[in-house]
Structure 1
Amino acid sequence: MSTRGSCLGTNPWSRWPTLPWLRVLLGLGLILGLQTASSTAFYLPGLSSVNFCEVNKETNYCKSSIEMYVNRLDSVESVLPYEYNTFDFCHDFKKKSPSENLGQVLFGERITSSPYEFSFNKTETCVKVCKKSYDSAKEDQKKKLDFLKKGMQLNYQHHWIIDNMPVIWCHDINDGNKYCTTGFPIGCFVTPSGISSDACIMHPEFNKNNTYYLFNHVDIIITYNSENEVDWYVSKLVSARLEPKSYKHVDENHLTCNGTPMEIPGDYTDKLNIIYTYSVKFEENKQIRWSSRWDYILESMSHTSIQWFSILNSFVVVLFLTGMVAMIILRTLHKDIIRYNQEDIQDYGWKLVHGDVFRPPRHGMLLSILLGQGTQVLIMTFITLFLACLGFLSPANRGALMTCSVVLWVLMGASAGYVSAKVYRSFRGLKWKTNFFLTALLCPGVVFVDIFIMNLILWIEGSSSAISFGTLIGILALWFGISVPLTFLGAYVGSFQKFDYPVNTNLIPRTIPHQAFVRRPFFSAIVGGVLPFGCIFIQLFFILNSIWSHQMYIMFGFLFLVFIILLITCSEATILLCYFHLCSEDYHWWWRAFFTSSFTAVYFFAYAVYYFFAKLKITGIASTILYFGYTMIMVFIFFLFTGTIGFFSCFIFISKIYSVVKVD
């Protein structure tokens, strides 16, 4: 699968212009599912290439200087990222930072320039970058060294960028394969009991107890390709790799970059000097073109040999089950309608409750508010995933995914107001102004309060992910300045539109017979959430891995396909269970339809808890609170749009079946 987009570059619609929607959907699934690393994909990041040439050939058309930027440092053992300059590394005093978009700010990316600068195609060996001195007698220097030790103990990772590409680090693992990652560690730590952690395991010479080993040297390999056949001296960078090393430089005037590692004893109380160095060399590779240079980032994923056949098998099983559900419903319903439309057959089952099936539910305003917000999130998610699948929101365009999501959510405020107001009116509600205010403020307010509390913790901990006060004001301006007025506009239109049900509602509610345990709402919700969760838990693992284990997520094609299957599964599971309840003369389906599919969010949360304890090594109260705080936001958003899918699917189904039968 190519990282330039997760859909094939050729247009599948041009081949099958007249096929029905089902075959088109299956064709899309086949295209997305059978992609491999060798597939040719199109790339639409909106970025232009940069030409490089040697120093003596530099012109306005190409440049020789290669700048390296540094991003925030993060760790799988802590949710708290830090800016590069928070640590006492070699800093660039010019401090040039590229402009950041809203998505980068919200994600906590902090990209800044570094003192590492290279000349194209010029090999350099053991070049000094800077020297850092520490005296334990001076409090400020002692704090800087202690913070550096803490970073090594928690396995914080560097993230470097060259020509908008992440610099990757590859090393051998036990089975003979290579494991590559977009970050490399500050250093590693051998505990007082002699247990080596993280990178120290790969270096047998790192064997002293209670000792920190700092990676103060990097060997960088930059690969280029001369694609221009006219200007043969012009090249483009196609990959960047490095290998971190630890050297104790004795003489800064005669650096050799070999010898004993840079050791920092855990109880060090003397003076300490650390010299940072690098070596760089260039290699030409004519096989990799600039348009496909992000393909090599596939190696940076921990599961490059992903079980494609297992995922495809899950897709087939889910499609088969949903097809069976649809077939059962259609066959059973077809027989019921034929029997009910015969004059000499007495009413029974779901037709008996025709006078109560559209009776307004309790707490109708709250339900309409949740449905309005769910619609807003659903539309936002669909458009975002579709654009990501096409390659517009590729990893090369940093922060584009989050920016697109926020902008779409703001613009979809009108849909939230319209749906909420129209559903509330169908419940015969009269307080449409209260409905509008709660639709615009309730669910976004819950998310904003959660984000504010998380941001307060990040600010106290000094993390780079802390959103500035100005950014918070900007988010509030988008909310109240654009989203709220659009919500009002949609609510105004929706509240004055007339809505008629297929059948009238009786004045006196019908008595509901005693229901067995298997027909109780709670049991139905438990059963109804299993099948939708079954179709997403594989992709859920990779999403959580990309968020908390700092892996790059690029499988938007598979994610979009899973999203479509999730819509189908939620709809059919909810319709099936609602039909069985109506056949048992239980007409309280409004909230049940919402909770049947939205219960998938409960399984989502349970899996997130399992992932926290089984897969992560997060320590500390602050990191734990942040993990579950952000998880609750994801679960709440998932709860809204899955519940909305189930509700409207069930509503359409019930409206159709009661409009095609004879009602006495």
Structure 2
Amino acid sequence: MIKHILFSLYACLLFVIVLAEDEAAKKTGNTHSYIKGDKIDLVVDKIWPRGNPSESYDYYYLPFCGEEEQDRLNQNLGADMTGSRRVKTKYDLPFDTQVEKFKKAVENKFKALMYYDDVPIIVPIGSVVDDRVFLNTQLNFIFTFNEDNVVEVSIVPDQEKRTELTNPKSVEQITFTYSAYWSETEKTFSNRMSRFQELYSFNQELEIQWFSIVNSLVLVVVLTSFLAFIILRILKRDYQLYEEDLDDDDKEETGWKLVHTDVFRFPSNINLLAAILGNGVHLLGLIFCILSLAILGLYYSDYSYNAMYTSLIIAYTLTTGISGYISGSYYKQFGGERWVNNVLLTVILFALPTFIIWAILNTIALSYQSSAAFQFKTIAGILALYFLVSFPLQLIGAITAKNFGKSFDAPCRTKKVPREIPPSVWYKGGAVQVLVAGFLPFSAIYIELYYVFVSIWGHYTYAPFPIVFLVFVILIMVTSCINIAMVYLMLSQEDHKWWWRSILCGGASSWFIYAYSFSYYLDTQMNGLLQTAFFFGYVLIACYGFFLMMATVGFLSSLSFVKRIYKVIKCD
């Protein structure tokens, strides 16, 4: 098992290095240097209501003045996935139906995303003052430069020259104008993105985050110490009693040693169990890979917009061989023989539910004519990656596991007839154990969840990825400790069917996270079918993947614990 995990992490580490070098090479070649009079295009991207960040539209969805044939920029896969649709505008800024549609956009607090020399600018379409609707028609572009570089860019709508749209029928014509102001600054080019990050980041709340991290660390230390003390003390006492009773034939075995001939009996549905473990290890390696890239600063550096989505797709595709290999390895250990079924289930276990949910959401976006709907070329590219790269890699991984995988190494032999499990009181039952095992890990990440949700569904960048990495490690530790405790309680009650219980206990925290999403949604300004469907649909995909990861963590930690305690005693 350890070799499998090391193999997975090693593959992800190689991918981290490759992407890091590639990103560094791209950055080095982008100078953004100009001489007086050089043309720098103002690029518009997308517009969206203030409360619904997923409900995005093409900038020219509203009847702004523009060319009939739009000059669209080439974008990467990640940009297309986020609804980005960059188009050059008619604004000339060298270096040194329409009314009703506008009114509705202003009332819904639409904002527009623009880029000038790759610097992002967010501009409100208009404003509502005392029930009067105003459209921003005069934009004042304010630039600062240092030598041959643009340093700061901002857009200030002129409040005196805006157009009132309260009564659309009275508006005969709308004229859009702009002005540009240039001034020199002492700020360096390397700090050009600081202003944007200050406006759209959580830096002012880092103190609260570190406080939550300290609380989580204290929880982990206390929990780990408590479990280690209690379980080790109990095990030590049990070992002493069993050693004393080895020669006493009149005494009957009790507790967890009594089920040593059943504890390694393979559960039902070994195909599904192996597929969960394969996908879980794959997703764990993927998350560590993405967080490693983030810690290196590749996602929220100056010009790496949407890089996370691109690297997520590529990393998932190139590491799918891990799921095939891990699933095949455990399937072989469990004595499985229907290899085709195992490969197919491993392939579709995560991908198929994700595809179905995405297809529904994409259909809704298409009905809204939203830019959040994937373009045909994006869909074709993702499908090509999956069927031409991902599926073959999974197949290769499964074949490798079948030919080179090891058999299951059980410390105790298993009897053919399973032992009957005695009844237990309700508060020691499976439902209570699963709820407790899910709540404690959730409580360790509860505060951090808010920042993650707002960074994804709000209008903020999120720079402190080391915090996320640390919280993720804490979550894994807490999940492992809780699962070990729950499995020990099961075995002490002579319940040897711990296999699937450890899966449910490990993944239970994902149910609490999805329940938390309802609370978060009610506290936001999100509304409408499109935004609601996108929010709960994509959170459901994330929670499903989270379930697979934490279920794998729970199972592997439980399996290691069970092997360890039964390896010490003398089994018949």
The answer to whether structure 1 residue 370 and structure 2 residue 276 are counterparts is yes
8 A Cα contact 1:421 1:494, kept in partner: yes
1:574 deviates by: 1.1
Change (3 A) 1:65 1:94: farther
- State the distance in 1 between where 2:158 and 2:235 align: 69
Equivalent position amino acid for 2:290 in 1: T
**Cα distance in 2, alignment partners of residues 558 and 238 from structure 1:** 29
Structure 1 match to 2:479: 570
Partner of 2:188 in structure 1?
289
2:386 equivalent in structure 1: 479
Q: How far apart in 2 are the matches of 1:224 and 1:655? A: 65
The gaps in structure 2 that reach 5 residues or longer are 1-22
Secondary structure at 1:617 match in 2: coil
Equivalent runs, 1:567-606 vs 2, <5 Å = 567-606=476-515
Q: Measure, in 2, the Cα distance between the counterparts of 1:325 and 1:514.
A: 28
Whether 2:169 is the aligned partner of 1:269: answer yes
Q: Distance in 2 between matches of 1:408 and 1:472?
A: 17
Please state whether the residue corresponding to 2:495 is helix, strand or coil. coil
Picking from 313, 333, 338, the partner of 2:235 is: 333
> Is the CA contact (8 Å cut-off) linking 1:325 and 1:573 kept in structure 2?
no
Q: Which residue of 1 aligns with 2:411?
A: 502
**Range moving further from structure 2, 495-504 or 446-455:** 495-504
Contact persistence 2:200–2:459 (CA under 8 A): no
Kept after mapping to 2: 8 A contact 1:45/1:391: no
Counterpart-to-counterpart distance in 1, 2:189 and 2:562: 54
Answer whether contact 2:213 2:471 (CA < 8 A) is retained: no
Question: Could you tell me which amino acid in structure 1 is paired with residue 26 of structure 2?
Answer: G
- TM (normalized to structure 2)? 0.88
In the TM superposition, what whole-angstrom CA distance separates every residue of 1:233-261 from its partner, at most 9, and x where no partner exists? x432232223223444xxxxxxxxxxxx4
User: Structure 2 vs 1, CA of residues 426 and 66 (structure 1 numbering), >3 Å: closer, same or farther?
Assistant: same
**Residues 354-393 of structure 1 correspond to what in structure 2 (within 5 A)?**
354-393=260-299
Q: 1:185 aligns with which of 115, 124, 143?
A: 124
Distance 1:188 1:362 in 2: 61
Is 1:88 the equivalent of 2:63?
Answer: yes
**Equivalent residues in 2 for 1:54-203, closer than 5 Å:** 54-55=36-37, 64-78=38-52, 79-92=54-67, 95-121=70-96, 142=97, 144-167=98-121, 183-189=122-128
After TM superposition, the structure 1 stretch with the greater mean CA deviation from structure 2, 428-437 or 93-102, is 93-102
Deviations 1:97-138 (A, max 9, x none): 3321111111111112122232332xxxxxxxxxxxxxxxxx
**Which of 135, 138, 141 is the equivalent residue of 1:220?**
141
**Distance in 2 between the 1:525 and 1:238 partners?**
54
Evaluate the alpha carbon distance shift between residue 103 and residue 302 of structure 1 in structure 2; reply closer, same or farther with a 3 A threshold. closer
**Alignment RMSD:** 2.2
Matched, 1:46 2:11: no
Deviation at 1:303, TM superposition (A): 4.2
Q: CA deviation at 1:360?
A: 1.3
Alpha-carbon distance in 2 for matches of 1:599, 1:625: 23
- 1:349-378 Cα offsets, whole Å, 9 max, x none, are 211111111111122221221221111111
Structure 2 contact 209–448 (Cα < 8 Å) conserved: no
Alpha-carbon contact 2:484-2:561 (below 8 Å) kept: yes
Residue type of the alignment partner of 1:477 = A
1:661 correspondence with 2:569: yes
Return closer, same or farther for 1:577/1:467 CA change in 2, 3 Å cut-off.
same
Residues 1:483 and 1:149: Cα distance change in structure 2 (over 3 Å): same
Q: Which stretch of structure 1 is more off in the superposition, 535-544 or 445-454?
A: 535-544
Q: Supply the AA of the counterpart residue of 1:316.
A: L
Name the counterpart of 2:424: 515
How many corresponding residue pairs?
537
CA offset digits 1:382-435 (Å, max 9, x no partner): 111111111123352122111111111112221111111222222222211111
**1:93, 1:236 → 2: CA distance?**
32
Q: 1:69 to 1:333 in 2, by over 3 A?
A: farther
Letter in 2 for 1:315: S
SS in structure 2 at match of 1:115: coil
SS at match of 1:53: coil
User: How far off its partner does 1:467 sit?
Assistant: 0.9
Deviation at 1:580, TM superposition (A): 1.6
Contact 1:46 1:392 in 2 (8 A): no
Question: Whose helix proportion is higher, 1 or 2?
Answer: 2
What TM-score does the superposition give when structure 1 sets the normalisation length?
A: 0.77
Does the 8 Å CA contact 2:99/2:171 hold for their aligned counterparts?
Answer: no
2:216 aligned partner: 315
Identity %: 30
Q: How does 1:389-538 map to 2 (within 5 A)?
A: 389-395=295-301, 396-496=303-403, 497-499=405-407, 500-538=409-447
Measured in 1, the distance between the counterparts of 2:191 and 2:242 equals: 62
2-structure distance, mates of 1:263, 1:45: 49
Paired AA for residue 190 in structure 2: S
Contact 1:224 1:283 in 2 (8 A): yes
Distance in structure 2 (CA, Å) of the matches to 1:338 and 1:272: 93
Rounded to whole Å, the distance in 1 between the matches of 2:203 and 2:100 is 36
Unaligned segments of structure 1, at least 5 residues: 1-42, 56-63, 122-141, 168-182, 190-205, 226-233, 249-260
In structure 2, C-alpha distance between the alignment counterparts of 1:597 and 1:469, rounded to whole Å: 38
